[in-house]
Amino acid sequence: MKTTKSTRATKAAKSSRARPLQGKYLLRLFVAGATARSRQAVLRVRQLCEAELDRGGILEVIDIYQQPELARANQIVATPTLIMEFPRPVRRFIGSLANTTGLSVELAVSAKRRIAL
C-alpha cells in the first residue's frame, strides 16, 4: 500500500501521467484541512480500495489549503473529492464516502473488467 502525501502529490501525478499504469489504480483524494471529515474520507478510501492498493494502486491525498492551485487545476468544487483517474473513464466522488455503494459498484465493475482482460 502506497500513499503519497500532499507535497509529493504533484510529482506523483506527473509520473503517473507519463507512465500509464496498465490495470492499476490511480486515485486522488482532495481534502480541505485536517478535519474529521477529511480523516474519515481518507480512511474510507483506504478501506474500500485496500485490495487494489495492495496490487500497486496509488492513492494521493492532497490538502487544497496547502496547494490551492491544484484545486483549480483539478476542478475541485466540493471537498472531499475523490477522483478516480485510472482506469478510465474518470470518475468523481464527492462527500465523506459514508454511503459507498456507488464506489463499491465502480470498483467491482473495474475489477471484473480487469479479470476479463
Partner 1 sequence: MKKSAPKSASPGLLLPKCPTGIQGLDEITGGGLPRGRPTLVCGGAGCGKTLLAAEFLVRGATQFGEPGVFMAFEETEAELEANVASLGFNLKGLVGRRKILIDYVHIEPGEIHESGEYDLEGLFVRLNHAIDSIGAKRVVLDTLEALFAGLRNESILRAELRRLFRWLKDKGVTAVITAERGRESLTRHGLEEYVSDCVILLDHRVNDQIATRHLRVVKYRGALHGTNEFPFLIGDDGLSVLPITSLGLNHKVSSERIATGIPRLDAMLGGRGFFRGSSILLTGTAGTGKTIIASNFAQAAAKRGERTLFFSFEESPNQIIRNMHSIGLRLEPLMKRGLLRFHSARPSLYGLEMHLATMFKEIAAFQPHVVIVDPITSLMDLGTHSEGKGMVTRLIDYLKAGQVTTLFTSLTQGGHALQQSEAGMSSLMDSWILLQDFEGNGERNRVLYVLKARGMAHSNQIREFLISDHGIDVVDAYIGPSGVLTGSARAAQSSLEKAAELATQQEAARLKREVERKRAAIERQISGLRSDYESESAELRRIAEQVGTSTQMLTTEQAESGRLRQADAKVATRPRGRSGLRRKS
| Residue 80 main-chain phi, psi, to 5 deg | -75, 150
CA dist., res. 18 & res. 67, Å (int): 21
- Give the residue with the Cβ less far from partner 1, 77 or 116: 77
Q: Of residues 71-90, which lie at the interface with partner 1 (CB under 8 A)?
A: 71-72, 75-81, 89-90
- Give the residue with the Cβ less far from partner 1, 16 or 96: 96
Strand partners for 58: 2, 26
Closest distance to partner 1 from the beta carbon of 90 (Å): 7
- Give the residue with the Cβ less far from partner 1, 59 or 76: 76
Q: Which stretch binds partner 1 (CB under 8 A): 7-15, 18-26, 53-61, 94-102?
A: 94-102
CA dist., res. 74 & res. 61, Å (int): 13
Among 37, 46, 107, 114, binds partner 1 (CB under 8 A): 37
C-alpha cell at 93: 466522488
Contacts of 103 (CB under 8 A, 6+ apart): 48, 82, 93, 97
Q: Of residues 53-72, which lie at the interface with partner 1 (CB under 8 A)?
A: 64-65, 68-69, 71-72
Q: Are residues 4 and 60 in contact, defined by beta-carbon separation less than 8 angstroms?
A: yes
- Residues lying near partner 1 in the complex (CB under 8 A) are found at 30, 32-33, 37, 64-65, 68-69, 71-72, 75-81, 89-103, 106
